[in-house]
Amino acid sequence: MATLPEVRRFYAQLMAAASGSTDPRLERIFELVPREAFLPPGPWHIRHNHLSLETPSADPAFLYQNIMVPLDAEKGINNGEPFLHAAWIGKAAPRAGEIVTHIGAGTGYYTAILAMLVLPDGRVHAFEIERKLAAQAKLNLEPFENAKVTAADAVARKLPASDLIYVNAGVVAPPVQWLAALRPNGRLVFPWRPSEKVALAVLVTRTAAGFSCEPFMRSWFIPCVGASVAGPDDRPPSTSQARRTRSIWLRSEKAPDDTATAVFGDVWFSSAAVPLPGSAELRRRPDRK
């Protein structure tokens, strides 16, 4: 029988492979952060492929595989699939010294991973709207001095200036204040759910010329309170339009044009890429603030 340290070590190797990252720290961090410390006591009711199973015992070894563990089954809130989060973290590439905002932190497991990845000198601001989960996350993250948990609605408030915003709830479009919180070269990773048929993970990067947008994998999360319902005048995309999206614009800066793939309130999506530095289109535009 494998020991728990051996199981964690192999799990970490799987996470590193799923991430596609070349950051050697990621594997070690997934090995060091104990998943069971962020979950209720076992045995655990786990979910995979829409099926619910109970682990045979409270042995933490059962947690080190690609399964979701419900945190609030009635509300559909889970400690999500590790392969998905490894892929997201690999794509977003948190770096030492960066400021991360984690929206939908649950009980803090992936917050802890992010907190370790931005050491030394980096910080994680975690937001969780469910107060019970936020309270548990605060306890769970006490050993992680660079992580702070706030029980609050991250849609309704101004976010701290961030190098990375990591969102774990589905939105029809990122709120303007999330985009405004991104520092130069800052990244935003979120589950884009503009309609029932479209469920994509998207990486947004703030450049000098605008917000680049890269849909990179299928992804489904529960809806984000306050940002998951389209208005009557909004224009959601088809699946093909969503996959072709390459940039996001604020209507206050640029009106939707014939490249628009979706329009939601003050934000619209385009199939056109953000202009490259030195391009004629960028020279014609006023400087971004």
- In tens, the pLDDT along 234-281 reads 999 999 999 999 999 999 999 999 999 999 999 999 999 998 776 555
Which domains, and CATH codes, for the chain?
83-284 (3.40.50.150)
Which whole number is the average pLDDT over 137-155? 97
Which whole number is the average pLDDT over 208-230? 93
What is the full DSSP assignment across 231-249?
Answer: -TT-BPPPHHHHHH--EEE
Closest by Cα among 214, 210, 216 to 271? 214
171 Cβ contact list (under 8 Å, min separation 6):
190, 191, 192, 193, 223, 224, 227, 228
What tokens were used for 285?
């535009």
* Rounded Cα gap, residues 280 and 262, in angstroms: 25
Closest by Cα among 179, 102, 173, 185 to 144? 102
Q: With 0.85 as the threshold, say if the pTM is over it.
A: yes
Which whole number is the average pLDDT over 51-68? 94
pLDDT score recorded for residue 279: 56
Q: Which position has the token pair 């991430």?
A: 19
Which whole number is the average pLDDT over 226-241? 93
Whether the per-residue pLDDT at 126 is higher than 60: the answer is yes
Three-class SS of 212-231:
EEEEEEECCCCECCCCCCCC
pLDDT score recorded for residue 5: 96
* Rounded Cα gap, residues 36 and 44, in angstroms: 10
Residue 24: pLDDT band by 50, 70, 90 thresholds?
A: very high
The torsion angles phi and psi of 93, rounded to 5 degrees, stand at: 50, 65
The single-letter code of the amino acid at 68 is: M
Helix or strand or coil: residue 47?
Answer: strand
Report the mean per-residue pLDDT for the chain: 94
Q: How many residues does the chain have?
A: 289
Closest by Cα among 72, 76, 81, 63 to 107? 72
Whether the per-residue pLDDT at 286 is higher than 80: the answer is no
